[in-house]
Amino acid sequence: MNRLPASSVQHRFWLLVAFASVAGSLAEIAWVSFYGVLTSTNIGEVARQVTVSFSRELGETPMAAPLGMLIHLALALVMGCAYALLVWQPFARRAGMAVTLLSAALALAAVWALNFFVVLPALNPAFVALMPYAVTFASKMMFALALAGVLIAGNSRSRKQASSYDRTSERSEQGFLFGLRPSDTCPWRPAYYVSHRRSPVGHTLRQPAQA
């Protein structure tokens, strides 16, 4: 039975991972923005502090906030790819939806703990003080939920497409073996399918013309 080409499978895999990572990043941004609206927290300052964590010089420029958004997106892609390669692809993908959701939540919880208890206190303590721990932890859970949700949905769609491809390939192989040809109205039918004799299912058939 034929399978989708390996290059096509890899392309779809990385496209799905990238889309899931961006979805996670946007979900996190939406959550922090929602919190900012409720509490009058300056979201621009949050984005600026992301840049400051990488470069204090860049953090003082007028482009600090937009750069912070880009840095956040780049980090989201890194986290999404790391999760997909180290966790999802090896075992969570086959284990199902519940394992994917749980593993994504645990992975992002670990990232949050590393960021707010190890990395950021050393690089940029001001960022840690911008929002309560509960809010920043919830933002990572939103990231995990969006990441896992897109991966689950994309994987389900890929399986359906692969199954459809396999069925089509199988019909094609059977048609080749039994001397059938493609048709506009059905995947394969006899080469002498035209007019005057009825088949058991009501189609009209005719014996091929003698040479």
pLDDT digits (tens, 9 = 90+) for 46-99: 999 999 999 999 999 999 999 999 999 999 999 999 999 999 999 888 888 999
Q: Do 48 and 95 lie in a common domain?
A: yes
Q: Is the pLDDT of residue 176 over 70?
A: no
Q: Confirm whether 152 is domain-assigned.
A: yes
196 and 152 both lie in a single domain: no
- Distance (Å, whole) CA 21 – CA 27: 10
Q: Is the pTM of the predicted complex or chain greater than 0.85?
A: no
- Dihedrals phi, psi of 178, to nearest 5 degrees: -100, 15
In a domain, 87, yes or no: yes
Q: What 3-state DSSP class applies to 180? A: strand
For residue 181, the surrounding DSSP H or E stretch is strand 180-181
Number of domains in the chain: 2
Residues 95 and 55 in one domain: yes
| Domain identity same for 62 and 45 | yes
Contact residues for 130 (Cβ-Cβ < 8 A; gap 6+): 41, 45, 46, 49
β-sheet bridge partners, residue 205: 197
Q: Does residue 17 sit in the same domain as residue 114?
A: yes
Element (H, E) at 128: helix 125-128
Inform me whether the pLDDT recorded for 148 exceeds 50.
yes
Between these two residues, 156 and 74, which has the higher pLDDT value?
Answer: 74
**Dihedral (CA of 192, 193, 196, 200) sign:** positive
Query: ∠ at Cα 25 (21, 26), nearest 5°?
Result: 115
Judge whether 135 lies within some domain: yes
Q: How many whole angstroms separate alpha carbon 87 and alpha carbon 81?
A: 10
Residue 36: domain span: 6-170
Share of the chain above pLDDT 90, in %: 64
